[in-house]
Amino acid sequence: MACIPKEAVGRMARLIGDADKALCKVNKLRSITSKLDEKDIEAEAEIFKAMADPCRLKILSLLREGELCVCEIMVGVDRPQSSTSHHLSILKDAGLIKERKDGRWSRYRLSEGAVIELLNLVKLIERS
């Protein structure tokens, strides 16, 4: 385990009032944080950032009903093609949607059922 800075233990000790407990808590925190994968956290943050826009959430909701072309999505979100394509690009880069070329048209769908589950979980959290 990496060396624990004295200032971290000191800060914790001032907060909880016990140096021994502070050392145990800091050790536990270091153990937990050492197991975190920064790449995973960054990837998760990108997904949440992609979903953090009302227009993109509306697009995801539209795609819950099935595959749609850009022209249908444009009408559904009441945005111009350039804005709609920008939002679709962000969702695609985050892995939330898939694109399929159909002649000159691009058709979009949710990337997997987990996206629907994630949207359902948001609704559950929102209602609680």
32 and 45 share one domain: no
* Residue-level pLDDT, tens digit, the chain, 128 residues: 456 677 888 899 999 998 889 989 998 988 898 898 989 999 889 999 999 999 999 999 999 999 999 999 999 999 999 999 999 999 999 999 999 998 988 999 999 888 888 888 888 888 88
62 and 76 share one domain: yes
Whether this prediction's pTM lies above 0.85 is answered by no
**pLDDT value of residue 2:** 53
**pLDDT value of residue 100:** 95
28 and 1 share one domain: yes
Within the chain, strands assigned E span 68-69, 97-102, 105-110
Look up tokens 């944080």; give the residue. 33
Look up tokens 């979903």; give the residue. 51
Q: Which domain holds residue 13?
A: 1-36
49 and 110 share one domain: yes
Task: Give the tokens for residue 45.
Answer: 């943050």
